[in-house]
Structure 1
Amino acid sequence: MWTKKAEKLFGLIGYPTGHSMSPTMHNEQFRVKELPYYYHAFNVHPDHLKEAVDGMKALGVSGFNVTVPHKVAVMDYLDKIDEEAEIIGAVNTVVNENGQWVGYNTDGRGYVDSLKRVIGDQLKESDILVVGAGGASRAVVTALALYGVASITITNRTVAKAEEIRRMLPENYHINVLNKTDAESQTSTYDVIVNTTSVGMYPHVNETPWVSEGLKRGCLCSDLIYNPLQTRWLEEAAANGANTINGVGMFVGQGALAFQKWTGIEPDTDRMTEVVVEELGGKKSDAYR
């Protein structure tokens, strides 16, 4: 256990936060990097969000993460919002910069980093299908578009929500919107398929968000869910010859970027991954498959 007196305090605000693995992940990195810092999860009811943010500043907190249900509402109480976070319409990381709260969104870029770890520069040439049009989809689509992938198609039960995401980005980003039936008919054309919905998450582990047959040879199926570590969809996709990646990579990626913004230090993402997977009851090999 790291025993030095904490010189800086970081944290997480959400409701609830008891399930979060962020404290374990970040405090382990503070220990490994020999930084006298501490990370704590704060359970903040939506009715007290403004008071919580003001209190964090009054206490001299150096930065904090934001999780559901506060990612959008917190923007009203910050001093500045990063351009990418403005586009996404949500903040998940706040940094105390010279006494001002500056909001960022590291979810999307954290996800892109996790994909690059698996397929490298091939990501630039990929035709990608994104399933879902919620907050996670907005972050993923924005980051993939800014990274410059070949094309992005969004499909969702409510097409109008997918259209909202397309409209928030310039036309030159090559973003298409299809209903589920039309998107399924083109399954064999996608290099990467991303599930950004909660379909298949514990306890509804027998549900699947997308077909697992007719996938393009070498397709990468990516599920943002990490509980369970291997969703039924990923298992079925792997059985049909696809490569797969679960949501641990995105969770670690967004945390690593937050860590860098707070400390200016590159974290050990391999160790962060091990800590998260161990917390979930898995082993290291479960992180990227």
Structure 2
Amino acid sequence: MEVTKENTIITCPDPETSHLDRHAYLFGHPIAHSMSPLFHQTIYDNLGLNWSQLPLPSTDMAHFLELIRHPQFFGAAVTMPHKVAILQHLDDITPEGRAVGACNTIFRRGTQYVGTNTDTIGVRESFYQNVESPDDVFHGRPGMVIGGGGAARSAVYALVHFMKCPKVYLANRDAGEVQSVIDWCRSAGYGDGLVHVSTAAQAETLEGPGAIVACVPNFPPVTEAEKEARGVAEVFLNKPHKGAILEMCYHPTPWTEIAAIAEKAGWQVILGTEAVIYQGLEQDKYWTGKELHELPLKEVKAVIADELLKARL
């Protein structure tokens, strides 16, 4: 269907003419380069389900709320700019969604429309599915998040709530963003162990982390604030304990400057595609009712790798 809403052309397949048994949406703007519909189609095809996730590039919340009332609708992936705005329109929110203050997934529970945040699970599973011995690498040790904003809150929640990190260091070029993350996490009950590490000198005095989540774009530091934040990361990476770092930046290449520095320092580097894959699989656990071991992990990993390769050619 093609509709004009608030001067925006919304192009989306019409589920009434698509012969699908059930359908979902990817709701956000812009979403032209999202791998989400292909990712989920791979899962449904491998499970023998006549389902699809339909891309809805839109900023019209009212129109989206109309569409999800369709009886064959089973869920939605919600991306920017709607992750916070959607919360007030839902019947319920899971603990992860409330704690992070953002919803990236809607599923149906009977007649209710429930929101959750699977980005937290994407971070968690990226470590647990790739690190051989969590007890030796990061359990009971500080965690660290490089960056600010919503991605940082999801990472902090995963480190504290799931990964047994008693404290979490925050490093970022913008001190105001760091304070906002700390204030939010404390108000939500999981921020008491957060520490803003603002200088390399301060980092030298602290215990090394076991798990790091990098949530910043891949570019060389230019300003003094950017150079200081990079210096903080380098100090921690060069401490004696070597852990695992999840580099959330994966486009156009997952091999970023921070990943290269970490690898040279002896850290295990986990590519950001792992977080994409495991947060998406968590969505399909809600939507299909299947457990992780029942979903086609090998097939979706191959599809994501192929798409990234095409993007770099």
TM-score of the two chains, using structure 1 as the length reference: 0.85
Percent identity, please: 24
Selected match of 2:275 from 250, 253, 275? 250
Q: How much does 1:103 deviate?
A: 0.4
- Give me the whole-angstrom Cα distance separating, in 1, the residues matched to 2:110 and 2:71: 14
Q: How much does 1:5 deviate?
A: 4.4
Gaps of 5+ in 1: 283-289
Partner of 2:108: 96
| Aligned partners of 1:162 and 1:177 also within 8 Å | no
Partner of 1:57: 69
Partner of 1:221: 245
- Give me the whole-angstrom Cα distance separating, in 2, the residues matched to 1:155 and 1:165: 16
Gaps of 5+ in 2: 1-17
Selected match of 2:38 from 17, 21, 24? 24
- Give me the whole-angstrom Cα distance separating, in 2, the residues matched to 1:160 and 1:29: 39
How big is each residue's C-alpha offset from its partner over 1:145-168, in whole Å with a ceiling of 9 and x where there is no partner? 221334322233324223214413
Give 1:230's aligned amino acid. W
- Give me the whole-angstrom Cα distance separating, in 2, the residues matched to 1:137 and 1:50: 29
| Aligned partners of 2:247 and 2:254 also within 8 Å | no
- Give me the whole-angstrom Cα distance separating, in 1, the residues matched to 2:187 and 2:296: 34
Closer, same or farther: CA 35–183 of 1 in aligned 2, 3 Å: farther
Q: How much does 1:240 deviate?
A: 2.4
Q: Does 1:268 align with 2:292?
A: no
| Aligned partners of 2:22 and 2:51 also within 8 Å | yes
Partner of 2:130: 118
- Give me the whole-angstrom Cα distance separating, in 2, the residues matched to 1:246 and 1:189: 21
Give runs of aligned pairs for residues 2-151 of structure 1, distance below 5 A: 5-45=19-59, 48-58=60-70, 60-119=72-131, 120-122=133-135, 123-147=138-162, 148-151=164-167
Closer, same or farther: CA 169–56 of 1 in aligned 2, 3 Å: closer
Closer, same or farther: CA 99–125 of 1 in aligned 2, 3 Å: same
| Aligned partners of 2:145 and 2:215 also within 8 Å | yes
- Give me the whole-angstrom Cα distance separating, in 2, the residues matched to 1:177 and 1:196: 17
- Give me the whole-angstrom Cα distance separating, in 2, the residues matched to 1:263 and 1:272: 16
Q: How much does 1:174 deviate?
A: 5.4
- Tell me the number of residue pairs that the alignment of Structure 1 and Structure 2 aligns: 271
RMSD: 2.3
| Aligned partners of 1:87 and 1:142 also within 8 Å | yes
Closer, same or farther: CA 42–20 of 1 in aligned 2, 3 Å: same
Q: How much does 1:236 deviate?
A: 2.2
Partner of 1:285: none
Q: How much does 1:63 deviate?
A: 0.3
| Aligned partners of 1:142 and 1:169 also within 8 Å | no
Q: How much does 1:187 deviate?
A: 7.1
- Give me the whole-angstrom Cα distance separating, in 1, the residues matched to 2:20 and 2:51: 5
Q: Does 1:196 align with 2:215?
A: yes
Larger Cα-atom Rg: 2
Give 2:168's aligned amino acid. I
Aligned to 1:96, what secondary structure does the other structure show?
Answer: strand
TM-score of the two chains, using structure 2 as the length reference: 0.79
